[in-house]
Amino acid sequence: MNVVIGSDGMFCPPIELKDPLMAPYGNDTTTEEILDGIDLTGRRFVVTGASSGLGAESTRALAAHGAFVTMLARSPEKNEAAAAAVRESVPDARLELGTVDLADLSSIRAFADRYRRDHDAIDVLMNNAGVMACPFGHTADGFEMQFGTNHLGHFLLTGLLVPAILAGTEPRIVNLSSAAHSISDVDLDDPNFETTEYDPWGSYGRSKTANVLFTRELARRLGPEGVLSFAVHPGGIMTNLGRHLDEELINQMMERSKARAEAAGNAAGEFRFKSVEAGAASQVWAATAPELVDHNGAYLGDCQLGVEGADPGGNGFVSYILDDDKARRLWTLSEQLVGQTLDL
């Protein structure tokens, strides 16, 4: 077993796959199985990317168990349609809609100001939204699109909402990462591909590694304040996240997935797609499971704790996501890029 310890000693060792803590859950576990018997009445969740896919399913599942959910999306129209679908399934769902474009820092600041003005607390912030393997482009503020949206957008949103998170009850922050973190480490010298040739999957991998390093630094900074932070690989799910994928990119994804699986000892190298209900299960588990209290900063996959060197397609991860010095430097760089020091 590989021990995952941060420089301050706050991270716990990953648990073996057969540990009793993990035994009930796996690749096909659904949100309803995770939340069976759990009452979330009185708990307030904020979910980005809530208008479709895993965000919409997470919202439905949480609302079905009594949670109050603020649904965030870039498109008000799509968000309203998603909320209507949730209410059709959960007639008494307690929902609130908010508009935020994670590729526009001014939109993020405007939403955060509104939220802090209207609400005192957040119990769980679920940073679910993202873009994947898109053509080269830039955010409204000039950042490479995937790094700017997937990491910097959530970095600023989280930082601005921290006062409300600290006021929450047993608060948690859940950041969606991916097995794609194993494609590439972050590049702190060239985060916007100014000197590096752009690769859609390489860029996505960088942003997903950034999500994990961000999680670890959040755990280091906010753990003493009682905030738990987790990074989650949801698995392979057919959602709108894949809207930029063509045949070539899909083939590249399959080949990389097979190579990673074989390198980790999974000779079959089989890529398995999940249902949306199974795909959202790991992030819902991260947001609610009492058994994770002692595992702040952990990387999760298939509703299990991460295991270094195992197949990234499941709950495995590569060692560079444990680099706490790089996590600190990424934080400093992110503050510089968004033009705001986060007093955490």
Q: Report the SS3 class of residue 87.
A: helix
What are the backbone dihedrals phi and psi of residue 120, each rounded to the nearest 5 degrees, phi first? -95, -30
C-alpha distances (whole Å) from 328 to each of 157, 190, 192, 214, 323 are: 18, 17, 19, 8, 9
What are the catalytic residues? Answer: 204
Query: How many whole angstroms separate alpha carbon 143 and alpha carbon 180?
Result: 20
Angle at 21 between CA 66 and CA 307, to 5 degrees: 110
Surface-to-core class of residue 293, CB atoms within 10 Å of its CB (0-12 exposed, 13-18 middle, 19+ buried): exposed
What secondary structure letter does DSSP report for 208?
H
Residue 334's H or E segment, with its range, is helix 324-338
SS3 20: coil
Q: Half-sphere exposure of 19 toward its Cβ, with a 13 Å CA cutoff?
A: 14
Q: Counting Cβ atoms within 10 Å, is residue 274 exposed (0-12), middle (13-18) or buried (19+)?
A: buried
SS3 state of residue 300: strand
Q: Of 222, 231, 228, which Cα lies nearest the Cα of 296?
A: 228
